[in-house]
Structure 1
Amino acid sequence: MPPNPCPTVTTDRDSRRAAIVLALALPADTLLYLLLPMYADQFGITLAEAGMLLAANRLVRIAGYGQVARFYARRGDRPTNLLAVAMAAVCALGYATLSGFWALLPLRLLWGLCFAALNLSTQALATADPIGASHRSGRSRAFIAMGPVLALPLGALLAQWAGPRPIFLVLAAVALPGLAVARKLPALPHPVTASMRRFQRPTSLDAWSFMEGLTLDGLFIVGLSYLGRDLLPGGAVVVAGLLMALRYLAEILLSPAGGRMAEKLGPVRLLLLLSLLTALALIGFGAGWLWSCAALIVVLRALQLPLLAPIVMQRTPGPGRVQALAARAVWRDIGAGTGPLLAGLLLPVAPTTWLYGVPALLLALAAMACARTHTPPAPTAATRAH
């Protein structure tokens, strides 16, 4: 009988496969963030309704992440990912064929729960072994980004040529190979704590997760699509699509670097530095330096993405890790769900200097509060040996 592989090698392999599954399921959602605000009338909705639909998938996770986490912990990665990928393909098919707010809303709610399961799987598998967790988390983000980085520019070009609907038929088919990859994931359940309070007082890390979601996953993305449409009529969908693709290309190139930097500097210290730079870039974005600051924001976001899971692992080791990852994701989703709502309501009427400047300041304050919270050093191979 061949010897069992090294635990770290097994964790690397499982983390990579979970990331590939999410990479195949994610493009339909990311492309919707580009096309829905620009082509709202062709989907039978208003801009405000587009903001609500883009927020809905995150808002449902606020209520549903706990149930998703319990299902995931009880059933394991393989069944959870198989179910989520199948439903993701159904959602993409619906985006291609259905119109109107009430027809699209159930699809957004269903996708929200699917993403919760897929995202939780990638984070839990990336941090299953504390050795190299930051680096592994960075590599996982790079694999996840490969799907959107290809879909966004191609989808933008196809939308300009044939309208916003046909690309979603293609992306429904793209999601299906994820079923074959998901079948290779482990099916064992994950250990959890015996009891977990449903509501807990928010921590400084929760505050940062909320502001990160509000600014980068909400206000920035919707604002890029909306403001870019006004600055470059006609070709705006292609330019915005390329810049949003650059966001994911930056994840491929820079998220592993962010993970390596976190291993050396510590994830909390790096989080503070990158968040302060992000706040400055958001202020510039709102002040009118749209494309240059947007490019800087996507770079900084890519470096920050691998940081949250290792920080959670440090602060909540042991069986509580899965629930803690889900809790932090809930706070990010609260922020990211609020962001499109604010953008849809305020972008047409409010000064962008205030709309982006105030959240930027709050993001910087949240990062400073998070850095003041003591975090134990990450374990090393040497310490684990003892």
Structure 2
Amino acid sequence: MIESKKFVAGIAIITAICLLGNAMLYVVLPIYWRDFGLSSLWEAGVLLSINRLLRLPLNPLVNWFYNRFDKKTGVIVAIILAFISTLSYGFLKGFIWLLIMRCVWGAAWTLLRIGGLLTVVELSSDKNRGELMGTYNSLWGLGHLGGALLGGLLTELVGLKFVTITFGIIALLCIPLAYHIIPHGISRPIKKEIPTKLIHLLFEKKNRPLFLSGFLIHMIYFGIIAFTLSRIVEFHIPHNISVLGLLIGAASISGIIQALKSGWEPFVSPKVGKLTDTKGIRSPLLAMALISTAFTLVLISIPSTIFLAILILLVMQFMSTIATTLCDTLAADKTAKENQNKTEIMTGYTIVTDLGVAIGPLLASLFEQSLTPLYVGTAVLLIGLGISVLKSTSTEASNPSQ
């Protein structure tokens, strides 16, 4: 168990550091898109989505890569790509150049994400899978702590170039860490029929509930909510406020909120995972988180005081921690039950979740004038999904042999 945690924690920490630049961009770009040489907010939405759209065709290729090369090689390549993309955000301007660099980051994240999820599946059992998945998600989520908090704050105080150089160098320093922590070795046999089998599994009836839930949950939490967080903060706090003598704006406040989420995740995610390992309540707890998020989306659409708005946003982020941890754990549960299709199931899951996160910002960018219709519609979708999760739990309980 201790050795398993060591490997899972190692790849999660490296992923977190590589994520710094991307997390910073999610806070800064929706507000300062003109400073990046963009002509409209819609272009910002495309830039925050294109890396995930690219990952759709990349996922099978990375799956092929990990069947032929070890995780250490894949992670080191990902670190180099993360360094290049992070550094570019401070020096390149214009939609086309930034589009290319977002594609570079997409390749880096795909290598890191599939490598991390497969590590959890391979090293876990039914008794600790939720805990290890919670540990993995919470540690790589710390990248948002540095990227969102420091990125948003430092960009307003000292400028974008300083932030991107710093984050880029920190990412590059992960190469020695990866070399020493991540073991060599190819863990699965080479399979020539992977692309065909993967397509079949994506559309197989028994896999649809998992893939649909993964798509919607990641579209909403990592796409819509993440992309619009700084805008909804700006809606409630349109002017800079003074905190300890410093004037901070919406970018800094949204960065602080995301950072708080990343700060509690190392404690909350493993606890949630461990609780559901022993109590068998993954699906009911997931449904509760989805429906609770729906209510916070409706409430945050109504003008309120600064204190109440921040409180609602924190509850929303807490529900996000629970929902995403349990969704990934349910995917790992299903993957672990497969005898021959473990890699393909997890790759299929990453494809649909990447698609969801890609569509989220694009959808949100269409609501430039008001976020209320978007949030209310998303709330209805979450309530429907929560009810569906509860119904599927009841069906499984009444048909235990399935």
TM-score exceeds 0.5: yes
For the pair 1:349 / 2:343, whether they are aligned, the reply is no
Unaligned 5+ residue runs, structure 1?
Answer: 1-7, 378-386
Distance 1:288 1:254, change over 3 A: farther
Q: TM-score, normalised by structure 2?
A: 0.85
Q: Distance in 2 between matches of 1:165 and 1:342?
A: 29
The amino acid across from 2:131 in the alignment is H
Number of the residue aligned with 2:59? 65
Number of the residue aligned with 1:380? none
For the pair 1:305 / 2:324, whether they are aligned, the reply is yes
Number of the residue aligned with 1:383? none
Indicate conservation of the 8 Å contact 2:78/2:108, yes or no.
yes
Aligned match for 1:244, one of 245, 255, 258 = 258
Q: Distance in 2 between matches of 1:358 and 1:264?
A: 35
Local SS of the residue matching 1:257: helix
Aligned match for 2:121, one of 114, 123, 127 = 127
**Which structure 2 residues correspond to residues 89-108 of structure 1 after superposition, within 5 A?**
89-108=83-102
The amino acid across from 1:86 in the alignment is I
Indicate conservation of the 8 Å contact 2:284/2:389, yes or no.
no
Q: Distance in 2 between matches of 1:326 and 1:285?
A: 35
Q: Distance in 2 between matches of 1:117 and 1:370?
A: 30
Distance 1:213 1:288, change over 3 A: farther
Aligned match for 2:8, one of 15, 18, 24 = 15
Q: Distance in 2 between matches of 1:122 and 1:364?
A: 30
CA RMSD of aligned residues (A): 2.1
Number of the residue aligned with 1:269? 284
Number of the residue aligned with 2:243? none
Distance 1:325 1:372, change over 3 A: farther
Local SS of the residue matching 2:29: helix
Number of the residue aligned with 1:259? 273
Cα offsets for 1:330-382 (capped at 9, x unmatched) = 21221211111122121x234x33211212222232343344446989xxxxx
Indicate conservation of the 8 Å contact 1:274/1:304, yes or no.
yes
Indicate conservation of the 8 Å contact 1:24/1:147, yes or no.
yes
Comparing 79-88 and 354-363, the one that deviates more: 354-363
For the pair 1:233 / 2:239, whether they are aligned, the reply is yes
Cα offsets for 1:288-314 (capped at 9, x unmatched) = 464232111111111233223332233
Comparing 318-327 and 333-342, the one that deviates more: 318-327
Number of the residue aligned with 2:182? 185
Aligned match for 1:327, one of 348, 352, 362 = 348
Q: Distance in 2 between matches of 1:145 and 1:313?
A: 18
The amino acid across from 1:262 in the alignment is T
Local SS of the residue matching 2:341: helix
Q: TM-score, normalised by structure 1?
A: 0.89
Distance 1:132 1:39, change over 3 A: same
Number of the residue aligned with 2:28? 35
CA deviation after TM superposition for structure 1 residue 287, in Å: 3.5
Unaligned 5+ residue runs, structure 2?
Answer: 241-248, 398-402
Aligned match for 2:108, one of 93, 101, 114 = 114
Indicate conservation of the 8 Å contact 1:65/1:330, yes or no.
yes
Indicate conservation of the 8 Å contact 1:62/1:333, yes or no.
yes
Percent identical pairs in the alignment equals 23
Aligned match for 2:229, one of 207, 221, 224 = 224
Cα offsets for 1:1-30 (capped at 9, x unmatched) = xxxxxxx33322211111111011011001
Query: How many residues are treated as equivalent by the alignment?
Result: 368
Comparing 238-247 and 195-204, the one that deviates more: 195-204
The amino acid across from 2:158 in the alignment is A
Q: Distance in 1 between matches of 2:381 and 2:187?
A: 36
Indicate conservation of the 8 Å contact 1:251/1:303, yes or no.
no
